[in-house]
Amino acid sequence: MVGVKKLLAATAVLAAARDHEQIPLSSKPFLSSDYSCIHPPYKVHLVSRSPLVMYLEGFLTGGERSHLQNLPHGQFRDSAVAGAAGSSAFHSVRTSQSTTVPRDALVRCVEDRALALQGFDTPPEHLEPIQLVRYGPAQRYHYHTDWFTDAAAHATAAQGGNRVSSIFAYVRAARGSTGTGTGTGNSSLTGGGTNFPLLDVPLHDERWCRFVDCDDEYEHGVTFRPVEGNAIYWENLLPRDGSSGGGPARGDQRTLHAGLPVVSGEKIGMNIWTREAPLPPGVRGDQFNPFCHIPQSDSGTHAHTPIPWPQLMSHILFGTSQANSLHSSLHGNLQRNLEHTAAAAVAVVAEATRNETGIMARLNFMGVILNFLRSLPRPCLCPRRNDRVRDTAVAAFLGCILGALLVNIVIGVQAAREKKKKRTMGRVVGDLGGMGGFSAAGLGLGGFVPGMMGGDKSVGNTPVVGSQQTFGGMAHVQQGRQLQPLEDHLQQRQQVIEQQKHQQHQQQQPKQKQPLAPPPRNSTKQQLQQPRQQMQQLRQPQQRHTEPSLLQQRQQLLEEEEDQPLVRPRSHPEQQQSKASTHRGTRATSLPGTPRPLEAPRMAGLAARPATRRRP
Ligand SMILES: O=C(O)CCC(=O)C(=O)O
Ligand SMILES: [Fe+2]
């Protein structure tokens, strides 16, 4: 027993040291016990009623932003998108990097805010783990929807259904890398706006220009400028009107959007996605994992209240009364806190068999293993990457076997001295099996089994079922034939723009080439109205078209356009800044393969057209 106690003491020191290490420096202030969740008085501005889009001014506090900005760089991985048949894939449609955020007190505070925004009825289990996405120069996220277009693969009832809503918040919009920690504003970020091409909202008031690119063409929909701390909220699914026949809710195509390329500087955004139903156990990372579990207080705010492990271990080692008190002190959390329940059970059994020294030693050692596993740093047992879960689980398992061997050798030596060889050998074999099984069970609860079930469900930034990446809509890009609805929208939209530009081009032809009667006085209005009517048709939800088209074509056009930015006359210095801030030149008007219109008439046409959002 003396040896075991020494082992306990060593374990305590090791665990305490690791517990200390696990908190990154930048996170300390927010993870300390005196952190309290205070929601900022953010303002809500309605952008669109249908689809519901709201602009949230000041959604994140400065402290929250700097905490999120200072996450270790290594945690960001190349973003993946949902592939066909439920797989995920890395694709040029998303060149940014992303990571999920550990659910510390600060992150849970932001989660609570996101839930409160959506009413008080959405349980936290509907929230996907919060995702950060980081863009450097030239990085972008092409047009996509956040709702899963391939619902059968990503949005079954068992997977929590589809994404009801999205909140995209600007965590950082500044120059340089987050490593410098100088997230002081967005003065040096250019590009990186969030564009909703199918949003049909006339934002005429000048006050919008702080948040949207007022200099943008009407046909481009709405481009939100990346303003630190602000966020966009939108609803992804159409209201159920009976036409879905009790089937899955349909996604709203008007929520198509893109993260436009960053030209210079760095942008970090944050995705908070809410599902229709609770996510399966394990996806949120800390719900059914006894080693990672953080109980929820009665008030609904999350509180991390584990019993210090040395205290827990002393309960296990000494006597029933402590075990009982431990049991009662855990009463409120029993159902959610399997770890403590298991430890208490070990203590109770140990107490009941106190007279049997051998059994006592074994049970105690099991308690030690349990507590040792529990005392390991959370990134170790609740790692952010699934492969680390596996590695750690395997390593811990081997450690347990070794530990069991050691104890049994000690017991064996003692027993041999007492000349009870036969009995000892039986006990050694029994101990090995028992402890190995116990260790496996503990590890299973601790993350191994959740990691195996359904692939990757632990918190992490590797491909994980429906939670760790932006999957929405990107199955379109993977499989051409699935692209149809959104492609069609984009192609038709492109055609409308094309047509409009063509008309303008015609109008700009020298007079001698148009010897016929001058156009009626309202011709300009007609020109503008016709495409606008067409655009409005496009923006109707659920409109289906059958002509084939390619989303990539539009992306190629955008790239071409960025390579050759247009110089346009600007009337206001703020307009120039606004334009520069999102790097939105006029979009190309021709399909790939067709010659680009000549620059001069195109510019002349643009100059003649009062189609920007900003009104005089
Ligand atoms: O970066 C942006 O502006 C938008 C990002 C986005 O839509 C996403 O991550 O799903
Ligand atoms: Fe998105």
* Mean pLDDT score, 517-538: 41
Distance 437 CA to ligand 2 centre (A): 45
Instruction: Provide, rounded to the nearest whole percent, the portion of the chain with pLDDT above 90.
Output: 25
Distance 219 CA to ligand 2 centre (A): 20
User: How sure is the predictor about 580, in pLDDT bands with cuts at 50, 70 and 90?
Assistant: very low
pLDDT computed for residue 203 by the predictor? 85
pLDDT computed for residue 465 by the predictor? 28
* Mean pLDDT score, 86-111: 78
Among 54, 157, 64, 47, CA closest to 105: 64
pLDDT computed for residue 219 by the predictor? 83
Distance 269 CA to ligand 1 centre (A): 7
User: How sure is the predictor about 612, in pLDDT bands with cuts at 50, 70 and 90?
Assistant: low
pLDDT computed for residue 528 by the predictor? 35
pLDDT at 21 over 80: no
pLDDT at 198 over 50: yes
pLDDT at 223 over 70: yes
SS3 annotation, 344-382: HHHHHHHHHCCCCHHHHHHHHHHHHHHHHHHHCCHHHHC
Distance 32 CA to ligand 2 centre (A): 33
Q: Whose CA is nearest to atom 8 of ligand 1?
A: 470
pLDDT at 527 over 70: no
pLDDT computed for residue 15 by the predictor? 35
Q: Whose CA is nearest to atom 6 of ligand 1?
A: 259
The token duo for 407 is 């104890």
Q: Which residue among 128, 133, 227 has the greatest number of ligand 1 atoms within 8 angstroms of its CB, and so is best to mutate?
A: 133
Among 592, 580, 566, 562, CA closest to 139: 562
pLDDT at 66 over 90: yes
pLDDT computed for residue 368 by the predictor? 59
Q: Report the chain's mean pLDDT, rounded to a whole number.
A: 62
How far is Cα 173 from Cα 224, in angstroms, rounded to an integer?
13
- Per-domain residue ranges for the chain? 43-179+186-240+248-275
* Mean pLDDT score, 540-569: 42
pLDDT at 402 over 80: no
* Mean pLDDT score, 346-359: 56
Q: Whose CA is nearest to atom 4 of ligand 1?
A: 259
* Mean pLDDT score, 524-541: 45
What is the residue type of 605? G
DSSP 216: S
Check residues 133 and 550 and name the one with the higher pLDDT: 133
Residues within 6 Å of ligand 1 by CB: 133, 141, 146, 168, 194, 257, 259, 269, 271, 470
pLDDT computed for residue 224 by the predictor? 97
CATH superfamily for 43-179+186-240+248-275 is q2cbj1_9rhob like domain (2.60.120.620)
**Cβ neighbours of residue 477 closer than 8 Å, sequence gap 6 or more:** 81, 91, 93, 142, 144, 483, 551, 552
Which atom of ligand 1 is the closest one to the Cα of 135? 1
The token duo for 187 is 């003065």
Q: What are phi and psi of 84, to 5 degrees?
A: -70, 150
How far is Cα 95 from Cα 382, in angstroms, rounded to an integer?
28
pLDDT computed for residue 208 by the predictor? 95
Helix (H, G, I), strand (E, B) or coil at 520: coil
What is the residue type of 512? Q
* Mean pLDDT score, 182-209: 82
pLDDT at 90 over 80: no
Note the maximum CA span of the chain. 120
pLDDT computed for residue 68 by the predictor? 92
pLDDT computed for residue 505 by the predictor? 72
User: How sure is the predictor about 152, in pLDDT bands with cuts at 50, 70 and 90?
Assistant: confident
pLDDT computed for residue 5 by the predictor? 45
Distance 259 CA to ligand 2 centre (A): 8
Distance 492 CA to ligand 1 centre (A): 23
Ranges 51-65, 143-157, 394-408, 467-481, most confident: 51-65
Q: Whose CA is nearest to atom 1 of ligand 1?
A: 259
ipTM higher than threshold 0.85: yes
Distance 271 CA to ligand 1 centre (A): 7
pLDDT computed for residue 256 by the predictor? 96
Which atom of ligand 1 is the closest one to the Cα of 131? 9
Lowest mean pLDDT among 204-208, 244-248, 520-524: 520-524
CB 226 within 8 A of CB 189: yes
Closest listed ligand to the CA of 470? 1
User: How sure is the predictor about 478, in pLDDT bands with cuts at 50, 70 and 90?
Assistant: very low
Check residues 400 and 200 and name the one with the higher pLDDT: 200
CB 186 within 8 A of CB 173: yes
Among 583, 602, 587, 610, CA closest to 490: 587
Which atom of ligand 1 is the closest one to the Cα of 195? 3
- pLDDT, tens digit (0-9, with 9 covering 90-100), for 169-183: 999 998 766 543 334
pLDDT computed for residue 420 by the predictor? 60
Ranges 86-90, 221-225, 491-495, 599-603, most confident: 221-225
Q: Which residue among 96, 101, 140, 141 has the greatest number of ligand 1 atoms within 8 angstroms of its CB, and so is best to mutate?
A: 141
Check residues 549 and 438 and name the one with the higher pLDDT: 438
Check residues 24 and 431 and name the one with the higher pLDDT: 431
Check residues 128 and 356 and name the one with the higher pLDDT: 128
pLDDT computed for residue 71 by the predictor? 76
pLDDT computed for residue 339 by the predictor? 53
Lowest mean pLDDT among 10-14, 44-48, 193-197, 536-540: 10-14
Q: Which residue among 149, 260, 470, 471 has the greatest number of ligand 1 atoms within 8 angstroms of its CB, and so is best to mutate?
A: 470
pLDDT computed for residue 51 by the predictor? 96
- pLDDT, tens digit (0-9, with 9 covering 90-100), for 252-299: 999 999 999 999 999 999 999 999 999 987 777 554 344 443 333 322
* Mean pLDDT score, 577-597: 33
Q: Whose CA is nearest to atom 2 of ligand 1?
A: 259
pLDDT computed for residue 73 by the predictor? 62
pLDDT computed for residue 274 by the predictor? 97
